Structure 1
Amino acid sequence: MTWINDIKHTLNKKCAGLAACALVLALAGAPVLAPAQALADVRKADVVYGQAVDARGLSVAQCPSIDAEYAFVMDKDGTVYFERNATSPTQIASITKIMTAVVALDAVASGAATLDSTVTVSAAAAAVGESSADLQEGDTMPLEVALKALLVPSGNDAAVAIAETIGGSEDAFVAAMNAKAAELGCIDTVFENPHGLDDGEFAGDQHSCAADVAKMAQYAMKNDTFRAIVGGGDTAIVVNRADGTKPTIELESTDELMDYYSNAIGIKTGFTALAGPSFAGAANNGDKELYAVVIHSTSEAQRFEDARELFDWVYEHELDYRLANSAQTATMTVNGARTEVPVAAEVPHTEWIDKTVKATLADPEASVRIFDLNGNVSQSLEFDEVTGDVKAGDKVGTVTFKQRNATIATVDLVACEDVAAPDLLEGIGIWWDRLFRGLSGQPQVASAVTLNETPLVVDKTAVAA
């Protein structure tokens, strides 16, 4: 039940100070003990970067240890890093409110509403019960304020009020939620109400899956208003009461991950008996934004730990892979500037029989961010037909880098030296030489040589250990 979640959350925060003091006193004379090592919950069927843990041959230490029965992690561009029962249907409780906010904000984007549109709390909205923003029948407020009441304390009252105001009716709004889910490519999502309650009078077929929730979160976090609300923590709102008063309502965030994880940037909690402790969270370490969904974890605190574990696991397994790796170097002079560069290849000059052009990458310092558990990097080189006078910096080919058959970078090969074309007399000599070589079956141009290497990708966490 969502009201249980909110009561626990409030009590946990209010009692935190007292508990901390008691703990300090209790430990003052006690010996310091090392923290207990948590038992890892890693499953062979868990999917890492599109392939099962068992098929990849990953060790327990290389995989995230989480308690949630359903989980999914992807970045803002849609790259999926981890899945556990990610497409299996399950209740998602108040995580539903992500879609409630999405539909309301889409109405703003389309011009059908504004953030200043008045939301009115009906008797039905005020009476929905359980997780609440303490709204009363007759309260009015701008839509932006109502969204705060929806997302910060997980107000079921705000959910119904928004649905009735924006949709004209709750049923019409829920239909828009389902239409949006289909538009986002959700594969197994059904909404029957805008708040996520799933028992008693709200029992039915409302469900989703971790993969679908991630798509909702990804879309929602593109909206600046949504990002600001879910990432803002505790706040206060002012509503207009039917009796003419304007009370201030303190809203306490249910997202405790932001209290202790510096990369956390919010989103939405959920809890019912059927969904269990659940959380859709977002994190940004300055380089990459991730969305983690954990459903049916083992406790309210553990759902946040599950999300943190997944975020850190992705961040810890990302590395910058240098593309140019050659033991041979050359001095490259372009516009008077001399630079020592790695020689990636020797490319045949087709007007000569025995001459090649030393080549490097267009950016010899280039690197690409990769996920180390996804395996080694391979390369393929394609050489242009090189003719005429070649100057340092001229394109002479292309290198494509792949990891597990997926292209991760395509870069130009450029000459790192000047090579002149043969003059008239040299050209005549080469013509006769090629004539005799053709008769004897000898090569008529130099062979291409690949000097660039692709070092093995090493799990950096294993190296650190």
Structure 2
Amino acid sequence: MEVIMKNTILSHHPRAYGTVIVLLLVTLNAHFAFAKNAPRYKSAILVDVETGQVLFEENADKQVIPASVVKMMVLLLAMERIEAGEVSLSDTVTISAWASKIGGHQVYLAEGEQFRFEEILKAIAISSANDAATAAAEFLAGDADAFVEQMNARAQELGMEHTTFANEHGLPPDKGQEENHTTARDIALLGRELLKHPQLLAWASTQEDTFRNGTFILTNTNRQLLRKYQGADGLKTGFHSRGAGFNVCATAKRDNRRLIAVVMGASQKSDRYNAVVKLFNKGFNQYKRVVVLQKGFTVGDPLLVNRGKERTTMLVASDNAVVLVPKGKELEITQDVRIPVDAIIAPVDQGMRFGEAVILVGDQEVARVDLVTGDRVEKGNLLELLKWWIVNKIS
């Protein structure tokens, strides 16, 4: 009965049709606008490289499948071994039967082929070659399983608390094997560590190179971002269709500021690219770098010295305190100076920590810096001790 009445009303009032249609269009437009603006990825994070400050995060601690992003750890361990003098870029790598059989994206290594270690690393960093990743793992650790153990050990040292590596190349597991797992936050940590090695950034920013004496072209899997986004120069992409989606740990530098953007589990390659661009634009356009404290600058009130040559000493910042704040909110930066002692007893060496300065933007903590003795505090002789005893009594 109710439906019949509604139809009757509409049939006698044509304007009602227009009202209903307008309401439907508004509802549909709102729905599609929401769907268009909704993130099409599983997790993301934006980090300032200099300070480690997180400028944006969404599901950053959600476990995801990294796919080829795991190769960042392969590259890190390789560069650390090189810089420790344990191996060299000029060392010869002989390809094993196992490495030659690794599928997916590859440079088609053949059993018994030999390459400079540098060429193997280039193939990983630029072209994300799975067979090259296995060759590097075997070269560095004897076999791939032993190398994966090293990957997991280094991840723990870096504080990658939610990461477990199962293989060195990122391919999906075969039946009975385990999958790699990580988080956007953990990958950002790994990216910051990787950026300490300029050679890796040089490879990661190369759009195209050659391999096997110029007979094979290495094409960068991150070339769209490198070509189109000003300042972009790395780092690593990843993809497979069995739960990973499209992943990237990207970095860009503008005006002496470097950011890392991590996007994991994007639905499409274009979603990955668009999300990274949006994150970088947010970091570069909406935030301002502010030096709150400079290394060596005095902080807080003079600290009383007992038994010292001098009556007081000053604490200084042990390092620069740099923060990124949303533009227009610079006046919201405050310092909370925490010195839990009223006095120190001489002698005290230079650089001894006695407090900290906590930097806040509004009520959010964004940085900390230790407060240390700027100079050595010498113990006073008898006359000096008597002098300061008298001063303390009458002051």
For normalisation by structure 1, the TM-score amounts to 0.56
What percentage of residue pairs aligned between the two structures are identical?
29
Task: Report the structure number with the largest CA radius of gyration.
Answer: 1
- Normalized per residue, the structure richer in strand is 2
| 1:167 paired residue among 120, 141, 146 | 141
The Cα of 1:400 is off from its aligned counterpart by 10
Cα gap change, 1:113 to 1:402, in 2 (>3 Å): same
The Cα of 1:112 is off from its aligned counterpart by 1.4
Deviation per residue, 1:142-176 (Å, 9 max, x gap):
11110111121110000000000111111111111
Deviation per residue, 1:338-365 (Å, 9 max, x gap):
xxxxxxxxxxxxxxxxxxxxxxxxxxxx
| 1:136 paired residue among 88, 94, 110 | 110
- Map of 1:192-203 to 2, 5 A cutoff? 192-201=166-175, 203=177
Distance 2:77 2:208 in 1: 23
- Map of 1:408-427 to 2, 5 A cutoff? none
The Cα of 1:371 is off from its aligned counterpart by 2.5
The Cα of 1:232 is off from its aligned counterpart by 1.5
Deviation per residue, 1:360-412 (Å, 9 max, x gap):
xxxxxxx9852249786155899xxxxxxxxxxxxxxxx998422447799xx
Corresponding position: 1:316 with 2:285: yes
Distance 1:222 1:121 in 2: 29
Alpha-carbon contact 2:67-2:180 (below 8 Å) kept = no
Report what 2:389 is aligned to.
Answer: none
Alpha-carbon contact 1:66-1:309 (below 8 Å) kept = no
Distance 1:400 1:183 in 2: 25
| 2:220 paired residue among 253, 258, 263 | 253
Distance 1:150 1:188 in 2: 24
Aligned residues: 286
| 1:182 paired residue among 142, 156, 171 | 156
Letter paired with 1:92: P
Report what 2:264 is aligned to.
Answer: 295
Cα gap change, 1:199 to 1:312, in 2 (>3 Å): same
Letter paired with 2:149: A
Report what 1:415 is aligned to.
Answer: none
The Cα of 1:214 is off from its aligned counterpart by 0.6
Letter paired with 2:253: N
> 3-state SS of the aligned residue for 1:191?
coil
Report what 1:377 is aligned to.
Answer: 332
Corresponding position: 1:124 with 2:98: yes
Distance 1:140 1:381 in 2: 59
CA RMSD of aligned residues (A): 3.0
| 1:211 paired residue among 168, 185, 195 | 185
> 3-state SS of the aligned residue for 1:277?
strand
- Map of 1:275-354 to 2, 5 A cutoff? 275-319=244-288
Alpha-carbon contact 1:318-1:370 (below 8 Å) kept = yes
Deviation per residue, 1:101-136 (Å, 9 max, x gap):
111111112221111111222111111111112322
The Cα of 1:39 is off from its aligned counterpart by 4.1
Report what 1:99 is aligned to.
Answer: 73
- Normalized per residue, the structure richer in helix is 2
Alpha-carbon contact 2:43-2:263 (below 8 Å) kept = yes
| 2:200 paired residue among 221, 226, 250 | 226
Corresponding position: 1:70 with 2:43: yes
Cα gap change, 1:196 to 1:403, in 2 (>3 Å): same
Alpha-carbon contact 2:334-2:362 (below 8 Å) kept = no
Cα gap change, 1:379 to 1:126, in 2 (>3 Å): closer
Alpha-carbon contact 1:151-1:268 (below 8 Å) kept = yes
Alpha-carbon contact 2:81-2:87 (below 8 Å) kept = yes
Letter paired with 1:179: A
| 1:150 paired residue among 88, 99, 124 | 124
Letter paired with 2:233: I
For normalisation by structure 2, the TM-score amounts to 0.66
Distance 1:233 1:117 in 2: 25
The Cα of 1:199 is off from its aligned counterpart by 3.1
Alpha-carbon contact 1:41-1:67 (below 8 Å) kept = no
Deviation per residue, 1:301-347 (Å, 9 max, x gap):
22111111101111111136799xxxxxxxxxxxxxxxxxxxxxxxx
The Cα of 1:275 is off from its aligned counterpart by 0.7
Cα gap change, 1:375 to 1:107, in 2 (>3 Å): same
Alpha-carbon contact 2:53-2:323 (below 8 Å) kept = no
Alpha-carbon contact 1:121-1:161 (below 8 Å) kept = yes
The Cα of 1:66 is off from its aligned counterpart by 3.7
Cα gap change, 1:275 to 1:40, in 2 (>3 Å): same
